[in-house]
Amino acid sequence: MSKLKTVGHPLSPLPSELPPELRGPDWVQANPHRIERELRSALALPSGGWYVLDASRSIREDPRVYWVEGRELVAWRAGTELRVAPNSCPHMGAALSEGPVRDGRLVCPWHGLELGAEKHGAWCPLTAHDDGVLCWVRIDRPDDPEAPDDPPTPRPIVSARPEAFIDSVMRMEAACEPRDVIANRLDPWHGVYYHPHTFKRLKVIGVENGRLLVRVVYGITDRFGIEVDATFHCPDPRTITMTIVGGEGTGSVVETHATPLRHGRSAIIEATLATSDRPGFHRAIRAAGLIRPFILKSQRKLWVEDAAYAERRYALRSGAVPAAGKALSAPTGQGAAQGH
């Protein structure tokens, strides 16, 4: 570790004194009560009813099935316009995703009913939005007692993004709830122990406007790494954003979104928007297609491990494995708290 050299823009000096809760060994700083408290604050935020489905580039004209909150939906494009609707045909329930698209309209594979942007009986397209990186759907639940203070908004609540970026979006599924995905990210202290191949050094160095500030070295090789400062915050109850605030790539963001699919199953959709003030960056943007697979590979490698973390957390909360404390809340719809 002592031979590790860091490259990139210099960082500001470390604060001379840390708040008391950020002193001591990492396992003490990673206080489960603190993480749970921050998680509860995130879960209380409004979402406007929006859920991430997938990367913008993953949804084309051909229909694809997505589950959201126990609903089976179909997403497709009419030209460039994103459409999302229930996947069951209003006639006899055929899976519309198995039919073709003709002139931007779904054609039911059983009896040929054509469905587009307009309502047909009980079948009604949902409000959808493509922000250029991610596709979203809005689920309106006017009578939901669980969301009395979360009225629908015209657009998703998205954290600040860089002006020019190379984006890479990873999607994977895990046996957990969205809160387990967010809780994993609210615990940066695990990084250096759980992902030693990527994080060579990681220290929580403060709290800025309620956001944890982390100084981290991303390993390029065993000897070289890039050192940056990053903050974490939740813009909505199912998203946590890491923003590079110092060092190489300042302004880059990593948005981790979690979408509930069906009971105990979630999708993790992570968008990395990498930017740089280096003179050659605009040339790099033109070569994004070559660079993207490398970003994606490292995202996926980390999330295979973090999905296992989130699944373990969910198993503890649900009582599927015996718990060792009382810091975690039970899964949605279960009474007693299970510990960690």
Least spacing, CB of residue 309 vs Fe ion, in Å: 6
Nearer to ligand FES, 89 or 166 (CB): 89
Nearer to ligand FES, 91 or 301 (CB): 91
Of 275-314, binders to Fe ion (CB under 5 A) are: 306
Q: Say which entry of Fe ion, ligand FES, none residue 306 contacts (CB below 5 to 8 A, set by partner kind).
A: Fe ion
Least spacing, CB of residue 48 vs ligand FES, in Å: 32
Total H helices, total E strands in the chain: 6, 17
User: For residue 33, what is the enclosing H or E element?
Assistant: helix 32-43
**Separation between Cα atoms, residue 8 and residue 210, nearest integer Å:** 27
The three state secondary structure string of 190-215 is HHHHHCCCCEEEEEEEEEECCEEEEE
Least spacing, CB of residue 299 vs Fe ion, in Å: 11
- Helix ranges (H only) for 197-287 are 281-286
Nearer to ligand FES, 37 or 111 (CB): 111
Least spacing, CB of residue 83 vs ligand FES, in Å: 17
Single out the residue of 54, 74, 50 nearest to residue 64, CA to CA. 74
Of 105-124, binders to ligand FES (CB under 6 A) are: 108, 110-111, 113
Q: Say which entry of ligand FES, Fe ion, none residue 23 contacts (CB below 5 to 8 A, set by partner kind).
A: none
> Can you name the residues that pair with 107 across neighbouring β-strands?
114
Nearer to Fe ion, 128 or 310 (CB): 310
Q: Is residue 54 involved in binding Fe ion (CB under 5 A)?
A: no
Q: Say which entry of Fe ion, ligand FES, none residue 108 contacts (CB below 5 to 8 A, set by partner kind).
A: ligand FES
Question: E strands within 163-265?
Answer: 166-174, 199-208, 211-219, 224-236, 239-247, 253-260
Question: E strands within 237-329?
Answer: 239-247, 253-260, 266-274
Tell me the C-alpha to C-alpha distance, in Å, between residue 136 and each of 68, 72, 124, 193, 333. 11, 15, 16, 34, 25
Residue 86 has phi, psi (to 5 degrees) of: -60, 145
Q: Say which entry of ligand FES, Fe ion, none residue 65 contacts (CB below 5 to 8 A, set by partner kind).
A: none
Residues that bind ligand FES (CB under 6 A): 89, 91-92, 94, 108, 110-111, 113
Residues that bind Fe ion (CB under 5 A): 306
